Structure 1
Amino acid sequence: MITVGVIYKNENELIANTAKQVIKDLKGQGFKVSLSGAKFVLSLGGDGTILRAAGLVAKQGIPILGVHMGGLGFLSEIFLAELNEALIKIKKGQYTIDERTMIEAQVRGKTITALNDLVIGKSGISRVIKIELEGVAKYTADGLIFSTASGSTAYNLSAGGPLLTPQSASYVVSAICPHSSSTRPIVLDMPVTLVLKRGGEVVLTSDGQHMFPIKEGQTIKVQRSKLKTRFIRLQKYDFFGRVKSSFGF
């Protein structure tokens, strides 16, 4: 018996009701439904749900099948109507695994991991913050985005950062509303240490879902994580085709 996990946004009544029916159908098809010991997980929703799923299962190396039921759905693989066909293919082993690089920050003895991005920004009164990337650059801006290749199409893109192809192991540092017009995004493939020089109420946000307060003078190490997010792909992943259809490039 194959064990499959189901992750969804419980606060959305439509998705929650659909998820209950999906779970019922899975059991009727002979699947065991549980995150414990799962061979793969279904993420029912949009990209935000996939990011939450990545945070839950990356350590276990469990692959994710994204079922698009939410907003943009850039990371999703199928629509709900295609689920039964997808399950048949998975049972037959007719799929590939797409591994994505994750990023992490080490602060105060804690490791914070993200699939898309880590963002340092203001949480209170509107004022610029000053951050130094040791040996790299100094920033006066509203914040900094540290984006993986997967996240390069998200907040990073809105901040004027470049796209990275999905298999890139590098990450992008993009400033949010920098004070200097000469400030440009930087692509790095090495760990960096940053120091918050000035900022007041500042937080480190992981994938837009978890916040951690940062104090002035605090040192943070940012680097590529050893963890990977694994996606189930049922067909060749056309990155630039998705970029064109989603963003009109």
Structure 2
Amino acid sequence: MKAPCTIGIVVNPHRPKAVEAAEKLVQLLTESGVPFCSPCVFDARAPTGFAKDVESHLEPANILVTLGGDGTLLAASRYAAPRGIPLLSIRLGGFGFLAEVEPHEIEWAVRRILSGEYSIEERIMLHAVLLRGGTETAESLALNDVVVTRGALSRVVLVRTEVAAGYLSTYSGDGVIVSTPTGSTAYSLSSGGPIVHPSVPVILITPICPHSLNARSVVLSDEETVLLTVESSDEAMMTADGQVGFTLQQGDQIRIKRADVKARLIKFGLRSFYDNLQTRLRWADSFGT
């Protein structure tokens, strides 16, 4: 027997339209008699009025609805994936490539969820572990990417890159991106990486502004483990999805592999991956006309 639906609401409090949509969603769920958790945020800097103790607050939820942009979904995915909770993203941010539903479709989408008329699309995630002196000191999941980059005032960063078979390259530049297929349309794309359909089981390595004409993206099997070692003495940073960050020291290593959990995205079949390439990345634009 299917468990009753309890909806958790995650909102970007810095976007007025997202806050307004959250209020309307709460009203809709209340009038429909659907159990829900009041809106919460993953941003500790958010204004008062939103729950910030996310783990305890969202514990009853078995579906999460995110109201914001892709960043809101990325933050929610790191919470939801280990718990197997499906995610529905409402496009209320500036880009929204990962969003499934437009704001005017919220009520329709909720009705479809309650009637079970949706599918689940699983997305590969990464698990990154920071090693200092051989000891694991931090870890994070990432739906888009794990990035090692130079500090704000530093020179180029040297990142030794290895895979299971051995040494791959030492990149000299602004850093290195290790991304999932989902992340192939994010930072990796802007750094010259390829676009990869989210169903393809691969991991991408893309150098950022490499100081070499020979450094290019590499596409690996998602069975690979990537090991990045900071060889330069200047300041460097590691980030996961651009949201979780750690300061790096010379000799620090980041071990990255496919996570044991996956993000589970709710889909209604409204738009395909290729539709989003055309409408949100403007893939089909004609230049000079």
SS of match in other structure, 1:51: helix
Q: Is the 8 A contact 1:128 1:199 kept in 2?
A: no
Choose the corresponding residue for 2:11, options 8, 11, 14. Answer: 8
Q: Is the 8 A contact 1:132 1:139 kept in 2?
A: yes
TM-score, scaled to structure 1? 0.95
Amino acid at match of 2:81: A
TM-score, scaled to structure 2? 0.82
SS of match in other structure, 2:231: strand
Amino acid at match of 2:146: L
What is the alpha-carbon distance in structure 1 between the residues aligned to residue 105 and residue 17 of structure 2? 18
Q: Is the 8 A contact 2:21 2:103 kept in 1?
A: no
Q: Does 1:205 find its partner at 2:239?
A: yes
Partner of 1:221: 255
Amino acid at match of 1:118: V
**What's the CA shift for 1:199?**
4.4
Q: Is the 8 A contact 1:98 1:233 kept in 2?
A: yes
Q: Does 1:92 find its partner at 2:95?
A: no
Amino acid at match of 2:235: E
Choose the corresponding residue for 2:273, options 232, 239, 246. Answer: 239
Moved over 3 A (4+): none
Alignment: residue pair count: 249
**What's the CA shift for 1:247?**
2.0
SS of match in other structure, 1:124: coil
Structure-2 change in CA distance of 1:12 and 1:244 (3 Å): closer
Partner of 1:165: 197
Q: Which runs of 5+ in 1 are unaligned?
A: none
Partner of 1:66: 89
CA RMSD of aligned residues (A): 1.4
Q: Does 1:83 find its partner at 2:115?
A: no
- For residues 125-148 of structure 1, give each alpha carbon's deviation from its aligned partner in whole angstroms, at most 9, with x where no partner exists: 141011111321111111011111
Choose the corresponding residue for 1:131, options 159, 165, 171. Answer: 159
What is the alpha-carbon distance in structure 2 between the residues aligned to residue 153 and residue 11 of structure 1? 24
- For residues 167-189 of structure 1, give each alpha carbon's deviation from its aligned partner in whole angstroms, at most 9, with x where no partner exists: 12211111111000110101112
Q: How does 1:137-216 map to 2 (within 5 A)?
A: 137-189=169-221, 190-216=224-250
Q: Is the 8 A contact 1:127 1:199 kept in 2?
A: no
Structure-2 change in CA distance of 1:14 and 1:90 (3 Å): closer
SS of match in other structure, 1:64: strand
SS of match in other structure, 1:24: helix
**What's the CA shift for 1:192?**
1.7
Q: Does 1:29 find its partner at 2:32?
A: yes
SS of match in other structure, 2:280: helix
